[in-house]
Amino acid sequence: MAMTHTDPVCGMQVDERHAGAKSTYRGQTFYFCMKACKEKFDANPEKYYNPGGLAR
């Protein structure tokens, strides 16, 4: 079973093992399909940070 996460920037499902990048914000780890998404997230995490919405 693959661990997938939703890329908060583009909304893609990202397999943990194939993530292009990851970032930790407020104690939560976020996975991104590519570095460009991480850079957008890091530049403005509050815009993408959405507790409830990422609950799976």
Q: Which residues bind to Zn ion, rule: CB under 5 A?
A: 7, 9-10, 33, 37
**Rounded to the nearest whole angstrom, what is the least distance from the CB of residue 7 to Zn ion in the complex?**
4
**Rounded to the nearest whole angstrom, what is the least distance from the CB of residue 36 to Zn ion in the complex?**
7
Our CB check for Zn ion shows the closer of 11 and 27 to be 11
Phi-psi label, residue 9: left if phi above 0, alpha if psi -120 to 50, beta otherwise: alpha
**Rounded to the nearest whole angstrom, what is the least distance from the CB of residue 27 to Zn ion in the complex?**
21
How far is Cα 37 from Cα 43, in angstroms, rounded to an integer?
10
Q: What are phi and psi of 12, to 5 degrees?
A: -70, 150
